[in-house]
Structure 1
Amino acid sequence: MSTSSSHSVVVGLDGSDASTAAATWGAAVAAKWRATLSLVHALPQDGPLYSPASIMLESQFLSQLREDGEAIVDTAKNLLGQHYEDLTIETTISPGPAGTALLEAADWARLIVLGSTGAGAFRSVLLGSTALHVANRAECPVVVLRGDVTAPDGRPVVVGVDGSELSREAVSHAFEFASFFGAPLVAVHTWQGSPTFGAGGTGMLVDWDAVKQEEAAVLSEGLAGESERYPDVSVTKVAQQGAAADVILQHAADAQLIVVGSHGRGPLLGALMGSTSQNLLHHATTPVMICRS
């Protein structure tokens, strides 16, 4: 067993089809990046024990769970090793909870990859507390796998741009990913407001052509520097009025990855991740990368 290195891709693995797909996708990324692949399996937490007999049964049960966990990670390691002979693969089996195990294994990781659904310690990883916990606390981007995908390809990468520092972080990761896999980039910037009603019913008094020009400038500024850094990446700019998640999903129908930023702001799960990120995790049919500050 070994902990992950500073250039590792960490994958939560529980034996489910979703986590196996995440491991396969993560292995393809790690191989392209020449990074270490770290497979992490979390064991259930110990419960309260009230008698010698229950302690013995609990010990036997946990021993079996560890054996099962070792079989899960060994099977995945052997299978992936056959496809990526030069890939360094590490495995870690840790006590739960799953979110804590992943964050500890990914202390210096480059990326964390999770399946959209799972069993055991990673059950309901998409919509449950584990995904929220990891996405809001990880120091690196977190990808939640959505749809039937096994590896990155040449389809577009869609990134949300709002002009903030956090958005610049997402843009940087999106350009890097697109460059590595020879994919085009679709940069999407949105704004709210109505030319009919506007704020306080004064929409008819707003110069909406000027608004569009200003928002297009925000988009261009949000991409500044990255296009020069990655001249091989073809960029399509989309500045469109509407809710961010809705517009991003419109332009991600044929995408291989959606990249967005999300602030971690406090201890309450419901207050941590922004509505755009949550909507995308619920409704996207393609993998979603969450980048936080």
Structure 2
Amino acid sequence: MAARVVVGIDGSASSLVAVEAATREARWRDADLHLVHAFIWPVMHVPLGPSALGPPEGGLRNMADRLVAEAEEHARKVAPDVRVTSAVVTGEPLTVLQAQSRTAQLVVIGSRHMGGFIGLMVGSTAVHLTAHGHCPTLVMQAPGDATGPIVLGVDGSPAGARAIEFAFAEAALRQADVLALHTWTPWNAQMPAPIDPAMPYAGTPGSLAEREACLLSEALAGHQDRYPGVHVERQVVRQGTREALIEASRTAQLLVVGARGRGGFAGLLLGSVSQAMLNHAHCPVAVVSGASTAR
């Protein structure tokens, strides 16, 4: 099966932005672009054809076909050389796109779709896919800085290892730099071994900061060897993770985080940091789950 990038479309301005981003991703990856519209109306048992009193081109099914045709035309304007396929799939967006993610390199969506709930800053489709998708999910909630780096949130967790691999691979495709950012506070840092067993919480001055710097180096080890053309800047800051990543996203072209990492609560499929990025980042956000594969 050919590699492919999937994009969810619903006729909104947000989904057209996603189509543009997905088309570029497909071109970079030498992959097919697959446009998917989740057609929920048959499930709700409503009439799909044109009304007897309306024009023959009316009706929900014809509207869905027009949405797909418009998205195809938009994609071909962005990259005429990318092979484009499309499908109108019966079902609600969450289930349809999750199923599509099983055979995709990447799923791209807008930050708000028609299926989003009023009052949520980021659509329910985006939250669901980043937690349950079978491949990385790229959410286009802000344009980002096209000349900026890819900001990578590194926490040293096993779940975050796939996010690191995705960020380096993406940087190589985009010919972009990587800003690997690791944050810590005395409340979430991994405690170093004590000097005196009688004082298990005591260490030498600066030992926490040194340990966190080593954690970042260890997490990135080997990736620069596999991607020698990617320039990496490392930053270790004593600051809350959400605040630091949101600030770094102001000048980034993409922010990459894991779905869950160190400090996540058992039972939550999407970590608090990932959710905060989907709501507040100033650039597109790629969320990579521990079970994802950036093929």
TM-score range with shorter-chain normalisation? 0.7 to 0.9
Identify the residue that residue 237 of structure 1 maps to in structure 2. Answer: 234
In the aligned structure 2, how far is the partner of 1:188 from the partner of 1:276? 13
Amino acid at match of 1:39: L
Q: Which has the higher helix share?
A: 1
Aligned ranges 1:122-141 → 2 under 5 Å? 127-141=122-136
Q: Pick from 15, 18, 34 the counterpart of residue 14 of structure 2.
A: 18
Identity of aligned residues (%): 31
**Deviation per residue, 1:84-111 (Å, 9 max, x gap):** 2221111011122101111222321000
Identify the residue that residue 99 of structure 1 maps to in structure 2. Answer: 94
Identify the residue that residue 253 of structure 2 maps to in structure 1. Answer: 256
Give the TM-score normalised by the residue count of structure 2: 0.82
In the aligned structure 2, how far is the partner of 1:208 from the partner of 1:275? 30
Identify the residue that residue 85 of structure 1 maps to in structure 2. Answer: 80
Deviation at 1:169, TM superposition (A): 0.5
Deviation at 1:291, TM superposition (A): 0.4
Q: Pick from 130, 140, 155 the counterpart of residue 148 of structure 2.
A: 155
Q: Pick from 278, 283, 290 the counterpart of residue 281 of structure 1.
A: 278
**Deviation per residue, 1:193-217 (Å, 9 max, x gap):** 27xxx9xxx9x95544111111000
Q: Pick from 5, 18, 38 the counterpart of residue 42 of structure 1.
A: 38
Identify the residue that residue 53 of structure 1 maps to in structure 2. Answer: none
Identify the residue that residue 191 of structure 1 maps to in structure 2. Answer: 184
Report the 3-state secondary structure (helix = DSSP H, G, I; strand = E; otherwise coil) of the residue aligned with 1:106: helix
Identify the residue that residue 271 of structure 1 maps to in structure 2. Answer: 268
Is contact 2:20–2:74 with CA below 8 Å preserved after alignment?
no
Give the TM-score normalised by the residue count of structure 1: 0.83
In the aligned structure 2, how far is the partner of 1:189 from the partner of 1:234? 17
**Deviation per residue, 1:178-233 (Å, 9 max, x gap):** 11111110001111227xxx9xxx9x955441111110000000101101111111
Deviation at 1:162, TM superposition (A): 1.2
Please list every run of 5 or more consecutive structure 1 residues that lacks an aligned counterpart in the other structure. 50-56, 265-269
In the aligned structure 1, how far is the partner of 2:143 from the partner of 2:95? 27
In the aligned structure 2, how far is the partner of 1:6 from the partner of 1:135? 23
Q: How many residues align?
A: 267
Please list every run of 5 or more consecutive structure 2 residues that lacks an aligned counterpart in the other structure. 52-57, 192-198, 262-266, 291-295
Identify the residue that residue 73 of structure 1 maps to in structure 2. Answer: 68
In the aligned structure 2, how far is the partner of 1:68 from the partner of 1:85? 24
In the aligned structure 2, how far is the partner of 1:11 from the partner of 1:229? 29
CA RMSD of aligned residues (A): 2.6
